[in-house]
Amino acid sequence: MAKFSKPRALKPEEESLLLFLLSADFPGRDALMVQLPLIQVTGDCDCGCGTVDLSVPDGIPPAPAREPIPVEARGVGVDVLLLVRAGLIQCLEIVTHGDARPISYPTPERLELWVPPPMRGRERSV
């Protein structure tokens, strides 16, 4: 992962994927939605997959969301994961099931949302 010397705003396609992921119904979603307009991109994967590291400003209340992956989206040859740590959005991860790089960036129209079921007795939340 290449870290940026200066954070940048979300690109429209990154924001679109985050909005799509946050359209699913899962515990902590509403609190994560509050973080969305404050997110900055702090780094990206240099392999061409489209994964980006994200940060929110200090002092944002943490979401009571399942960690590390409260929601994901699946498509043909690609998965999109929302990673959360300590109740804060940390990463938009693009996982491809092939070797071609760069990939065409996944779009919500080509994806299906999936919320992992609760893990009895092992659920971790803030």
Residue range 13-36: mean pLDDT, rounded: 97
pTM above 0.75, yes or no: yes
Q: Greater confidence, 69 or 118?
A: 69
Give the 3-state secondary structure of residue 54.
strand
User: pLDDT tens for residues 66-82?
Assistant: 999 999 999 998 999 99
pLDDT band at 126, cuts 50/70/90?
very low
- Domain positions in the chain are 9-114
CB-facing half-sphere around the CA of 31: CA atoms within 13 A: 18
> Does the pLDDT at position 100 exceed 90?
no
The four Cα atoms 33, 37, 42, 47 give a dihedral, to 10 degrees, of: 70
